[in-house]
Amino acid sequence: MVEAHLIETIIGIGILLFAAKLMAELFLRLKLPIVLGELLAGMIVGPFALGGFFVVDGKQILQINDEIRILGEMGAIVILFMAGLEMTPKEFLKGGKASFTVGTLGVVVPFFAGLVVFQLFGFDALQSMLIATALTATSIAISIQVLSEFGKIKTPEARLIIGAAVVDDILAIAVLSVVSSIAGADGGIENIDITEIVVTILQVLGFFAIMLIVAVVVIPKIITPRLWKAKGSVEGIATASFFGAAALAGSIGLSPIVGAFAVGMALSTTKVFEKVENYVGKIGLIFAPLFFAIIGAQVDLRAVDLNILMLSGVIIAVAIVTKLFGCGLPAIMFLKSKKKGMRVGIGMISRGE
């Protein structure tokens, strides 16, 4: 039984990775972002599309089981660690005011716009609040992959997108924890305690600040060529550190990817930087496409009808407009350039982690 499950997982990974790379080749030739091809590959070969037709012994060949989902999550952690390596703590702090403003408005504007729009569409307050919450978090992984692919990761706009997206993610998690506790409570919307909300948000931001400081102080002392001389030790310890930080972040109520980002930043100014960057770039070649293909494979196109298409259209329109203006306008002020500011707005549109 265990062996059958293992084989099912291995086959799933093989199919998804092969399909993702095939589509990546096609999208590269079409001069479109490879990430889009990898997402689409997952949707095409997923269990709800082509994957549903290939059945052996009464079971679909491709099934998205828990192990494959976990691998996808690990992919996101690797991508965020790679992003952390691209930004030094000094740069992050220097862009702190801009990142914080753009990131905060990137949560506030979509949330309140979503709340109003979906109540107009006949959803009750709690349903509208849940949809509005889903609209707040930028998908950092997608933005980072596209920026890296086009060689723009070192630009001021990319710096602001990454910093703001991290702030955005942290705030979105705070909002999600508040909204889900309201959904779980009997009192509903009427019993919202503003001080409780503020405390939750400050707590989450405080956790991140402490984590960042500890990472920057402790990690360079642990991961040093002076201590680790055997082949592969530096890379192994770096991997253990960013997965450990991801687990720690997850256990204190943050997103695991934020922990990996903090460790990446802590290593960006150390002697082992080039060694670690070279190595993680290689594992990223497998983990990143898997992450996007697995997300794509979970899209159930069979559930789509006209009603859902119309609602999706509205959600997409609200999602684009609120991030474009919520993040783009403050970015124009900070970067003192309309073109660069709008690029930030566009870079923050991606959702769905």
What residues does 138 pair with on adjacent strands? 351
Please give the Cα distance from 338 to 331 (Å, whole number). Answer: 8
Mean pLDDT of 238-259: 88
Q: With cut-offs at 50, 70 and 90, classify the pLDDT of residue 86.
A: confident
Q: Residue 184 has what pLDDT? A: 67
Q: Are 147 and 112 in contact (CB under 8 A)?
A: no
DSSP 72-118: HHHHHHHHHHHHHHTS-HHHHHHTHHHHHHHHHHHHHHHHHHHHHHH
Q: Which residues of 163-177 are buried (b: 16+ CB within 10 A; e: fewer)?
A: bbbbbbbbbbbbbbb
Domain with CATH 1.20.1530.20 in the chain: 73-348
Question: Do residues 332 and 342 make contact, with C-beta atoms less than 8 angstroms apart?
Answer: yes
d(CA 35, CA 38): 5
Look at the chain and count its residues.
353
Asked whether the predicted pLDDT for residue 242 surpasses 90, the reply is yes
pLDDT, tens digit (0-9, with 9 covering 90-100), for 316-340:
999 999 999 999 999 999 999 999 9
Q: What is the pTM of this model?
A: 0.85
| Tens-place pLDDT, residues 250-263 | 888 778 888 898 89
In sequence order, what are the residues at sequence separation of 6 or more whose Cβ sits closer than 8 angstroms to the Cβ of residue 52? 60
**110-148 pLDDT per residue, tens:** 999 999 998 988 888 888 888 898 888 888 888 888 888
Question: Which one of 3.90.950.10, 1.20.1530.20, 3.30.470.10, 1.10.150.120 gives the CATH number of domain 73-348?
Answer: 1.20.1530.20
The three-class DSSP label of residue 346 is helix
Return the pLDDT at 293: 93
Q: Looking at residues 176-199, what average pLDDT do you find?
A: 70
The predicted structure's pLDDT at residue 208: 82
Q: 99-103, 190-194, 221-225, 341-345: lowest mean pLDDT where?
A: 190-194
d(CA 107, CA 137): 7
What are the DSSP E strand ranges found in the chain? Answer: 55-56, 59-60
